[in-house]
Each structure stands twice: as C-alpha cells, then as structure tokens.
Amino acid sequence: MLFKQQALLRQKLLVLGSLAIGSLLYLVARVGSLDRLQPLCPIDGRFGPHGQEEIPLRALQFKRGLLHEFRKGNATKEQIRLHNLVQQLPKAIIIGVRKGGTRALLEMLNLHPAVVKASQEIHFFDNDENYAKGIEWYRKKMPFSYPHQITIEKSPAYFITEEVPERIYKMNSSIKLLIIVREPTTRAISDYTQVLEGKERKNKTYYKFEKLAIDPNTCEVNTKYKAVRTSIYTKHLERWLKYFPIEQFHIVDGDRLITEPLPELQLVEKFLNLPPRISQYNLYFNATRGFYCLRFNIVFNKCLAGSKGRIHPEVDTSVITKLRKFFHPFNQKFYQITGRTFNWP
C-alpha cells in the first residue's frame, strides 16, 4: 500500500514538474514574441540631408507579420486606423529596365525597415486603361505602410514607354527614379530567353535570337527588334530628361547586384536618404541557386523565384560581337549623361 502511494506521489510530482517547465517555456516565448512585436524602434540616422526629426522604424518582425495580414486584406478599418497605417503614393519608382534585375532590386530594398514594396507590377503609367482610372485607383494599389515609410513600386515597361515620363511628372515632379541596367547584349539575350521560355511552355516554336537581332536583308543589327531597342539605354533616358533632372535618377549596376549586391544597395540607401540598415547579414549566397538570397531575420529567409537566372541559349559569337559594336557609342553617351561608367565591351 505504501509503495503504491509513493509511486502515485512521484507521478504527481512529475506531472507538476512538467507543467511548471511548460509554463516557464511559454512565458519565455511569450516575452520574446512581445518584444519582437514592438512596432517602433528609434534609429540613429536621419532620412533627409536637411536635419529632419528622427524617424522611428518598426521592427522587421512586425512588418512581416502585421503588414502582411493587411496586404492580404485580413484587416478591419478599425485595425488600420488603430495602427495609423496608410496607402501612400510611391516616393520612389524602379522604372526599368526589363531583365536588368528590377525584381531583385525591389526585393533587396524591401530588406530595409523603412521601405515597403508593392508586390505586383501596377502598370499604371504605361497602360492607358489603368491610367484612365485615376491617381486614387493607383494609390489604392499600394501596400499599407506607416506614414514615415517609403513605398516603392517597379514596372520596367515604364522606362521605354513614351507617355510615362510626363505622367509621372504630373503626379510628383520630385520623385526619385531608379534604373537598373546590365551589359546591353547580355540584357537583350536575357529578354529573348524569357520570351522563348514562354513560347516553349505553350509548345510554340520561336525564332533563334540571331535571326531576330540581325536584319537578314542588311546583315546589320535589327533596331526594330524590341530586345535590341530596350538596350539602347541613352535613347530612353534622354526622353526622361525632358521632365526630370539627372539628379533625380540613380543608376544601379545590375551585373554587380548579382555578384556583389551589398555595395549597390548601400548606394541606393544613400540616394533615397535612408539610414544604412541593409548589411551582409541580410544577404547570403545560395550555391544551389547560383545567386544571393535574402535573410530578413533568424527565421525568415527568401530566395527569388526559380524563373530568375535562366540559362541563356548559345549565341553565335559574330552576332555578339556585332551587337557589342553597335551598342558601344550609345553606352559611351550613357556614361557621360549619368556620370557612371561600366566595364561593358
């Protein structure tokens, strides 16, 4: 009888001990989660060069949680009002170029706690039907953010569409404009590769790159081919300069963003008057994918979609040489206008 009572007592003590340990672990986890959910934290730097007040930035975990729910539409008007969230027009736009690395740039800038990105390409300024819906329609396509944050969207078609510079100027003549470029011939082949993949997915045939890039009648570069025209960066930039001074543009090296992203992102932080917050901790090389992935915190990592970094088809070397010779004078003018030189052949 005594033995049974002792065994029962030991069993109760074990249960109580387990409950105590479980409660302690819960409290530790709870305190940690509450600490992570603090929405605002002070920063040392300042946004602007003119000595504005310090701007509080919310914690990354708070951004990934609460703001994500708002983006999915899982928030009431009262919750939005309570947290002082707004949908703001962008203060900076990645206007191009297509296949220059616009998605990578947007996702990497989103590492910064003062930046909130529009997840989808809005195509407001380059699409007549969307533009006719008005600026309020555009604003409502933007993500929820805190008033002190910068909303950024990207639509690479903006750079080459004639009507866009004037339309953006009418919205905000002082907006900051980001252009990310790659070596023009490489960019053109990447452009072709994306279209080719889409055709193959639909079991459709498509011309070889050489046949599209070179006019068969003249054996010269085919400037009517969109992939070639897009890579003549200076022609498009000159149209933008009719509305915006060069100081409102920042040129990002798309090739360097692939191999050494941090210095490029730090230049963008400076251009946007953001305090430096993106560090090497936020970027890690994924050997399997062959490019850098993003680390937001100890829990949340992100790699770009598998469609990024497509393998390019082999292109006749004589065609590559001809294209590089064609682009060379345009590249030189682009360097002069922007004040940034690239090691393009």
CATH number of the domain that residue 171 is part of = 3.40.50.300
- Give helix 233-240 / helix 317-338 axis angle, nearest 10°: 30
Look up residue 185 and give its two tokens.
């011939």
Residue 77 known to be catalytic: no
Q: Is residue 61 domain-resident?
A: no
The residue segments making up the domain with residue 155 are 80-336
Tens digits of residue pLDDT in 253-304: 999 999 999 999 999 999 999 999 999 999 998 888 778 999 988 777 888 8
Q: Give the pLDDT of residue 67.
A: 57
Tell me the binding residues.
99-103, 182, 190, 292, 308-312
Q: Is residue 60 domain-resident?
A: no
Q: Is residue 256 domain-resident?
A: yes
In single-letter form, the type of residue at position 242 comes to K
Mean of pLDDT values over 92-97: 98
Tens digits of residue pLDDT in 176-185: 999 999 999 9
Q: Which helix (H) or strand (E) holds 328?
A: helix 317-338
Q: Is residue 150 domain-resident?
A: yes
Report field, pTM of the whole predicted structure over 0.85: no
In the numeric block, the tokens 């750079």 are attached to 159
Structural domain count of the chain:
1
Tens digits of residue pLDDT in 137-163: 999 999 999 999 999 999 999 999 999
Q: Is residue 67 domain-resident?
A: no
Inter-residue contact 150 to 116 (CB < 8 Å): yes
pLDDT at 46 over 60: no
- Residue of 63, 99, 117, 154 marked catalytic: 99
Q: Is residue 58 domain-resident?
A: no
**Residue-wise DSSP of 161-173:** -TTHHHHHHHH-T
